[in-house]
Amino acid sequence: MATIRLTAAQALVRYLAAQWNEDGKRLFHGVWAIFGHGNVAALGEALHARRDELPTFRAHNEQAMGHAAIAFAKANRRKRMMACTSSIGPGASNMVTAAAVAHVNRLPVLFLPGDVFASRRPDPVLQQVESFSDATASTNDAFRPVSRWFDRITRPEQLLAALPAALGVLTDPVVCGPATLALCQDTQAEAFDWPESFFAPRIWHVRHSPPDARELRAATEALRTARAPLLVAGGGVLYAEAEASLARFAERHGIPVVETQAGKGALPDAHALNLGAIGVTGTAAANRAAEAADVVLAVGTRLQDFTTGSRTLFRGRLIGLNVQPFDAGKHGALPLVADAREGLASLDAALGEYRVPLAWEEAIPRWRTEWRDTVEAATAPGNRALPTDAQVIGAVQRGAPPGAVVVCAAGSLPGELHKLWRAEGAGTYHLEYGYSCMGYEIAGGLGVKMADPSREVIVMVGDGSYLMMNSEIATSVAMGLKLTIVVLDNGGFGCIGRLQEATGGAPFNNLMAHGVDLRAHAAAMGAIAEAATDLANLEAAVRRSISSSRTTVIVIETDPTRGTEAGGHWWDVAVPEVSQRAEVRAARAAYQAALTERQR
């Protein structure tokens, strides 16, 4: 057997560079790296040697580079991905939040944190976390609950099994999520005689699994007898590249479609059967249909509380079409375990000429028209001193070119975007709302731009998230990856401030008495920066940024007290049972009444 002598780090990098996807592209676009003593000497040397095949990118924050890698994988529908490496200690723990984001959203990222010495010869090393009861523990054990696959590499030859296992998880639609290989510092530098066959190019194919015949019969029978069926499109529709199958299925049978955050864009907003966003942040049209539906086909969604209205929205029978059995059977659903594309095609064939009753079919355009009128009114310019989030969304959409991608993650904006943004189709709407991680927005926009530099990427972010993580503005400028970043400055955490008062709490610790000059801050990082004085100025600024080749940050002050009242659904936020505040007692009474009403 032919062998080649390499360090563990060199072998790891060479292996990653040899992996390909079915589209003829390298599976790994590159490696995000912030070097430190735990990864620069060995892994850094290995990355430099193969930088033409596996480029190395430097971020300014370890969590942010994880977010960029996540966004890149999502924009590529999980068919391409990136790795992230940090040193031992705080560099590693910074990536744990990003690992959680990837875990919740079922997205592939390979985390390669440095670790302690396997030999323990120099223990305790710089930044080592010492346990008084477990000598094997390190910072990297924090990755265990937020990784789909975890291994600690203490010998070079362990990579012979660990790397294929990690790649198997990263490329499997059923268990897809982050994989972590904690790399002991001394092990990275140790050499081993590797079989040359280990580095042979490998192509990873996306598995599209068909449904079980018995489950298909049960789901078909439930749909065939439905008088008011509804289809919920989740992110699994996009990852399975099933949007054409979705459109055919809906059109042939007349079944209206509603969208989760992850599934928005699977059916274009302009499609006659698209009733828009579902759930707590949903449209009046979608939620009205959901309450009236007698059968709900949930495709590729994990049915979190914002989708189900805290499990109070769907009153009909659920069918869970999902590649993951854990999700397919949620909420007592009839499980239909299959890839979204194969499952929809099989259901379509099994249903034959079934079409929804005329009364249900006629209600759809009426509800849809009513909601579109609501959107026009909410997003239209007004004469208020401070615009609402909805009005800002309207101005940005009017200024955006066709095919632009909007990126967001946390605060009040995801709810407003979910029901108000008109997604043109797949890939034009990029929200991280599984973990709703503040700070994802700008780094995520960078990852989306890396996935397709030809597309215009518009990041919408509140000042709270902006101040949490803005460093990748400098990265985007340095890399020449232009973003348009619209910052809505409402003086703090306006979304949570409204929730605080809505639950009877005294307003405190959310809005800031003294603002920050965000325009000057962005300019200091190399961006073109301007402050929009009104909505017309904002719309013009967005258009100017599109013609620019450098990242532009546009700041506009907004009203922290107002959200879009139309649409939406109840969300279970527990209110204190006992309080000295009359406002809290009143809110508790209203909460209890709502619980009682929804449990009937």
Segment 494-503 shows an average pLDDT of 84
| Cα distance between the two ends of the chain | 70
CB 462 within 8 A of CB 54: no
Instruction: Read off the CATH number of the domain in which 301 is found.
Output: 3.40.50.1220
Mention every residue, 6+ apart, whose C-beta is less than 8 A from residue 158: 151
What's the pLDDT at 502? 83
Verify that 300 and 366 share a domain, yes or no. yes
Band of the pLDDT at 210, cuts 50, 70, 90? very high
Mention every residue, 6+ apart, whose C-beta is less than 8 A from residue 35: 44, 87
What's the pLDDT at 511? 83
Nearest by Cα to 378 from 567, 138, 124: 567
Establish if 459 belongs to a structural domain. Answer: yes
Establish if 571 belongs to a structural domain. Answer: no
To which H or E segment does residue 474 belong? helix 472-479
Least reliable range by pLDDT among 71-85, 313-327, 577-591? 577-591
Query: What size, in residues, is the chain?
Result: 600
Establish if 328 belongs to a structural domain. Answer: yes
What's the pLDDT at 600? 67
Verify that 102 and 250 share a domain, yes or no. no
CB 420 within 8 A of CB 368: no
Which has the higher per-residue pLDDT, 595 or 392? 392
Residue type, 357: P
Band of the pLDDT at 506, cuts 50, 70, 90? confident
Establish if 599 belongs to a structural domain. Answer: no
Q: Which of 155, 187, 204 is the endpoint of a domain?
A: 204
Segment 152-177 shows an average pLDDT of 98
Total number of domains in the chain? 3
Verify that 132 and 266 share a domain, yes or no. no
Verify that 24 and 71 share a domain, yes or no. yes
Verify that 305 and 414 share a domain, yes or no. no
Verify that 165 and 39 share a domain, yes or no. yes
Percent of the chain with pLDDT strictly greater than 70: 100
| Residue 352 reports pLDDT greater than 80 | yes
The number of beta carbons lying within 10 Å of the beta carbon of residue 189 is 17
Determine the structural domain holding residue 514 and report its residue range.
Answer: 380-557
CB 64 within 8 A of CB 439: yes
Over residues 235-253, the pLDDT tens digits come to 999 999 999 999 999 999 9
Establish if 562 belongs to a structural domain. Answer: no
Mention every residue, 6+ apart, whose C-beta is less than 8 A from residue 547: none
Verify that 261 and 175 share a domain, yes or no. no
| Residue 286 reports pLDDT greater than 80 | yes
Question: 73 pairs with which residues across the strands?
Answer: none
Verify that 441 and 500 share a domain, yes or no. yes
Segment 501-520 shows an average pLDDT of 85
Segment 462-471 shows an average pLDDT of 95
Average pLDDT, rounded, for the chain:
95
Over residues 109-137, the pLDDT tens digits come to 999 999 999 999 999 999 999 999 999 99
Residue for token pair 């189900």: 308
Q: Which of 204, 233, 249 is the endpoint of a domain?
A: 204
Residue for token pair 């360090």: 7
Band of the pLDDT at 382, cuts 50, 70, 90? confident
Percent of the chain with pLDDT strictly greater than 90: 90
Verify that 330 and 420 share a domain, yes or no. no
CB 9 within 8 A of CB 42: yes
CB 205 within 8 A of CB 251: no
Verify that 227 and 144 share a domain, yes or no. no
What's the pLDDT at 494? 81
User: DSSP 3-state assignment of 299?
Assistant: strand
Establish if 585 belongs to a structural domain. Answer: no
Distance CA 583, CA 588 (A): 9
| Residue 493 reports pLDDT greater than 90 | no
Q: Which of 160, 180, 204 is the endpoint of a domain?
A: 204
Nearest by Cα to 211 from 355, 352, 350, 22: 350
To which H or E segment does residue 160 belong? helix 159-170
- Alpha carbon 472 to chain centroid, angstroms: 18
DSSP letter (8 states) at residue 528: E
Question: 357 pairs with which residues across the strands?
Answer: none
Over residues 34-71, the pLDDT tens digits come to 999 999 999 999 999 999 999 999 999 999 999 999 99
Establish if 148 belongs to a structural domain. Answer: yes
Instruction: Read off the CATH number of the domain in which 500 is found.
Output: 3.40.50.970
Verify that 238 and 340 share a domain, yes or no. yes
Verify that 358 and 493 share a domain, yes or no. no
What's the pLDDT at 385? 83
| Residue 377 reports pLDDT greater than 70 | yes
What's the pLDDT at 104? 98
Establish if 385 belongs to a structural domain. Answer: yes
